[in-house]
Amino acid sequence: MIETVPPESVLSDVIAPYEVKPSGIQLTLLAGGSQIKFSGDIRVRTTSRTVSSVSITYKDRNGGTGGTITTTLAGTANGFDDSFAFYSFNKTFPATSSISSFTVSVAESGGLTTTFSNNGAGFPVQDSVIVLLPQSCSTNRNLQITAAVRTGTPAPTLTLTQKIPRAGGIPVPALSTSTATMTKGVTLKYFEFFGQYFFLEYCFKFEYHEVLQHVNYLECYYSIDEYSEHEFYHLDLYNEQFEHKL
């Protein structure tokens, strides 16, 4: 950046990685809809700390006391300046109580324990609309997405945005967006199942990449290998009900 911007430019502070970052957070229905499995990883920055254990404290879906989840060291990673450790967890609880948010406690070998609470708000998790990965798949360019919607929640709208190669040697792909209302299927316990199909015209290989859950919507990111070129697909499962709560 030296001598490449006007002298009056004011640069921000150095961007540092998060000390703690939840990754691959996923809810899955079990036991005919009566239980929910909560799983994922917690990435901890270990550049300046030696971690002895990582635990999760969660609140139920109404904000009440939930419980504590232990984690297991799953692996480590290193960059040019930082090192990280990944701690996996897997917890099953009744669908009636479920989960709404959680905090992460990191215990160091020296005895210090630090709790990370996402600036006091907790890391949010919602179970009103759940993407069911075990029931979603892609075969011969046909993409099927299945979601469980808690009874009483309006039907979600599914939007798929994909990169489309352009003719004439233009290297930047175009974006094509398709939106559809999901079709209601069976009802199990406290959830109604909705599904939708998409045909991926330019998809050669479909691979699930990551799911991010937020208070007001669910975003699903998928990576596509298209004829030896890495493509990126964005899938947004959105429920209008949550928008009015913000």
**pTM score:** 0.75
Question: Do 56 and 114 meet the contact criterion of CB atoms below 8 Å apart?
Answer: no
Integer angstrom CA distances of residue 130 from 17, 191, 199, 224, 238: 29, 10, 22, 22, 11
SS3 241: helix
Which CATH architecture does the domain made up of 20-124 adopt?
Sandwich (2.60)
Integer angstrom CA distances of residue 53 from 36, 92, 134, 165, 204: 25, 20, 30, 47, 42
Tokens coding 103: 């905090």
Q: Tens-of-pLDDT digits for all 246 residues of the chain?
A: 566 778 888 888 988 889 999 999 999 999 889 999 999 999 999 999 999 999 999 999 999 999 999 999 999 999 888 999 999 999 999 999 999 999 999 999 999 999 999 999 999 999 999 988 888 887 777 888 899 999 999 888 888 888 888 888 898 988 888 888 888 999 999 999 999 887 776 643 333 333 333 323 333 333 333 322 333 334 444 443 333 222
SS3 221: strand
Segments making up each domain of the chain, as ranges = 20-124, 129-243
d(CA 78, CA 103): 25
